[in-house]
A and B are shown apart, each in its own frame.
Chain A
Amino acid sequence: SQQGEEDPQALSIQEGENATMNCSYKTSINNLQWYRQNSGRGLVHLILIRSNEREKHSGRLRVTLDTSKKSSSLLITASRAADTASYFCATAFSNTGKLIFGQGTTLQVKP
């Protein structure tokens, strides 16, 4: 069953602007991961944040995790047209690799 809710469902911004996506989940987690999916393609792993971490950076990506609110956010700074894709958060309850995905946010970056 799905665990995560993401908002917004769709986001349209201009190139150069920042994009923020939020994810909420329902149960305790081991870690939370963000993935990107280009239309009709497989998933690309972006970043992982463990339950004992609060913030993590990777290039233009910044992820926060608030376990008290059971929520996470993904910030993409200085967006590019090539960032246009769907973004999913996924929660892991253990280290088995099993993931439960959120509903996803479709991001459109206009050149």
Chain B
Amino acid sequence: GAVVSQHPSWVICKSGTSVKIECRSLDFQATTMFWYRQFPKQSLMLMATSNEGSKATYEQGVEKDKFLINHASLTLSTLTVTSAHPEDSSFYICSARDYQGRGVEAFFGQGTRLTVV
């Protein structure tokens, strides 16, 4: 199947700093990517839809100034957690769909575990 690579796989940062997470589609172009957040022992919550060349669409209750999304190319979307606080500690996962013919399933990155201390 198609490969989506997420980096870093884990990061520890100090409260007040910003952290950038990258999501890359390695063997296909993704005009749209999705960012999810997962708390321990809970399900995935969709945060936002990342659109190549345009603004991201955020789900209700997600602060767009807190979670900055940039989708500057057809293979890369980034999520920046700005001024991170301990409550932002979570597992962040991106996904993308290969619109050019591999069906409607979404391919997920490996996830990034963010710990804010």
Query: Which label, helix, strand, loop or mixed, suits the secondary structure of the B interface?
Result: strand
- CA of A7 to CA of B114 in the docked complex: distance in angstroms? 29
Alpha-carbon gap, A88 to B111, bound state (A): 16
Q: How far is the CA of A1 from the CA of B59 in the complex (A)?
A: 8
B91 engages A40 (CB within 8 Å) = yes
Please, which residue of chain B has its CB at the minimum distance from the CB of A88? B43
Contact with A41, one of B44, B103, B111 (Cβ below 8 angstroms): B111
**CB neighbours of A103 from chain B (8 A):** 42-43
Residue in A35, A42, A100 whose Cβ sees the most chain B Cβ within 10 Å? A42
Given contacts A97-B32, A97-B104, A97-B106, contact A43 B93 (CB under 8 A): yes
Cβ-defined partner of A45 (8 Å) among B6, B59, B91, B107: B107
| Residues in A lying within 8 Å of B, measured CB to CB | 1-2, 30-31, 33, 35, 40-45, 48, 88, 92, 95-104, 106
- Can you spell out 20 A-B residue pairs with CB atoms less than 8 angstroms apart? A1-B60, A2-B45, A35-B108, A41-B110, A41-B111, A42-B93, A42-B109, A43-B44, A45-B105, A45-B107, A48-B104, A88-B44, A95-B97, A97-B104, A98-B46, A98-B49, A99-B95, A101-B43, A102-B43, A103-B43
Q: Which residue of B lies closest to A97 (CB)?
A: B97
Across the interface, do A99 and B106 meet the contact criterion of CB distance under 8 Å? yes
